[in-house]
Amino acid sequence: MAAEKSKVLIVGGTGYLGKRLVKASLAAGHQTYVLHRPEIGVDIDKVQLLLSFKHQGAHLLTGSFDDHHSLVNAVKVVDVVICAISGVHIRTHQILLQLKLVHAIKEAGNVKRFLPSEFGTDPAKMDNAMEPGRITFDDKMKVRKAIEEAGIPHTYVSANCFAGYFLGGLCQPGQILPSKDHVVLLGDGNPPAIYVDEDDIAMYTIKAIDDPRTLNKTVYISPPKNILSQRQVVEIWEKLIGKELHKSSISKEEFLAAMKEQDYSEQVGLTHYYHVCYEGCLTNFEIGMEEWKPLNFIRKSTTPPSNNTCAATYNYH
């Protein structure tokens, strides 16, 4: 008889990635619980989103980061907790709130797997990241440290670049729609990065939760066909629209000087673009290939301009 699927609690299920995690968990047949906070007040869109989860079969649980017992009670109901709390400064950055969740998981004592809110660049590889953007990696590492000190079984998901943020604007910071005339290349536009459709990220995250090979490991979502330089992204778009874009380029010195003129939250995001697009930080290290495991799955990316079929795979170490 097939083993029973884990019961899953999604924290941050109303967010950009979180709602996809809820959908993917339900689609994979997990009993899915969504924590919602009383603080949402009269946010009618959030309430309707939560109701739509309920109609799709999710169970709604009320809990607040300001109420420890509510968190303990919520995590006691499930086997796996996935947190997708916000961590993008131009929206909000609440990564360290997870320390309260770690505390609750430790006290509850029943959780077989915790996946903290990561889903980006592996923070363990970003020791030398620049200010002010390094706060994202530093805070995610603080959460990892708390998880490991508490002895909580975990999986970290390094999902590389969300396609919606990066591909939509042809890897130009501050743009999420592709231009039909002109593109600014970051430097020579050649360092490769890894762009992953957010629905795919959610699906692979859910695939990892009951997989014994990913226990206490980092999963890298890096489908080989999604490893592209900015120039290659632009080429795909040019083929789609049947037109060559006018190209200019911004040197790293100009990029860094312009960054200093921006406000703090913009600077955090721009630092991340710098590491990804000028330094190639997503592809400049080796992943333990001895355990490479292709998943038998082909998915068509829906995010423009990447209409190529992605053979999705994950690596873990």
Ligand X SMILES: NC(=O)c1ccc[n+]([C@@H]2O[C@H](COP(=O)([O-])OP(=O)(O)OC[C@H]3O[C@@H](n4cnc5c(N)ncnc54)[C@H](OP(=O)(O)O)[C@@H]3O)[C@@H](O)[C@H]2O)c1
Q: Annotated active-site positions, please?
A: 140
CB of 2 to ligand X, least distance (A): 31
47 vs 53: CA distance, rounded Å = 10
Under the binding rule (CB under 6 A), the answer on residue 17 touching ligand X is: yes
Q: Output 12 or 189, the one with its CB closest to ligand X.
A: 12
Say which DSSP state 306 is in: -
Q: Output 244 or 285, the one with its CB closest to ligand X.
A: 285
Under the binding rule (CB under 6 A), the answer on residue 48 touching ligand X is: no
The residue sitting closest to ligand X, measured at its beta carbon, is 15
Q: Contacts with ligand X in 159-188 (CB under 6 A)? A: 159, 161-162, 165
Sequence-distant (≥ 6) Cβ neighbours of residue 254 within 8 angstroms: none
CB of 179 to ligand X, least distance (A): 20
Residue 267 near residue 133 (C-beta atoms within 8 A): yes
Under the binding rule (CB under 6 A), the answer on residue 125 touching ligand X is: no
Under the binding rule (CB under 6 A), the answer on residue 97 touching ligand X is: yes
CA-nearest of 168, 159, 226, 219 to 193 is 226
Locus of tokens 């604007």: 169
Binding segment toward ligand X, per CB under 6 A, in 114-122, 168-176, 220-228, 236-244 = 114-122
| CA Rg value for the chain | 20
Under the binding rule (CB under 6 A), the answer on residue 51 touching ligand X is: no
Locus of tokens 């789609």: 240
Under the binding rule (CB under 6 A), the answer on residue 18 touching ligand X is: yes
Under the binding rule (CB under 6 A), the answer on residue 60 touching ligand X is: no
Residue count of the chain: 317
Determine which residue in the list 25, 31, 98, 117 makes contact with ligand X, applying CB under 6 A: 117
Binding segment toward ligand X, per CB under 6 A, in 26-34, 91-99, 224-232, 238-246 = 91-99
Locus of tokens 């079984």: 153
CA-nearest of 268, 291, 287 to 133 is 268
Q: Output 100 or 231, the one with its CB closest to ligand X.
A: 100
116 vs 101: CA distance, rounded Å = 9
The C-alpha torsion from 65 through 164 and 198 to 143, rounded to 10°, is: -40
CB of 93 to ligand X, least distance (A): 8
* Tokens matching residue 48: 């309707």
38 vs 64: CA distance, rounded Å = 7
> Which x/- pattern, by CB under 6 A, does the window 210-249 give for ligand X?
----------------------------------------
126 vs 268: CA distance, rounded Å = 14
Determine which residue in the list 52, 62, 92, 284 makes contact with ligand X, applying CB under 6 A: 92
Under the binding rule (CB under 6 A), the answer on residue 40 touching ligand X is: yes
Sequence-distant (≥ 6) Cβ neighbours of residue 263 within 8 angstroms: none
Under the binding rule (CB under 6 A), the answer on residue 276 touching ligand X is: no
Provide the binding-site residues for ligand X, judged by CB under 6 A.
Answer: 12, 14-18, 37, 40, 46, 65, 84-88, 91-92, 94, 97, 117-120, 159, 161-162, 165
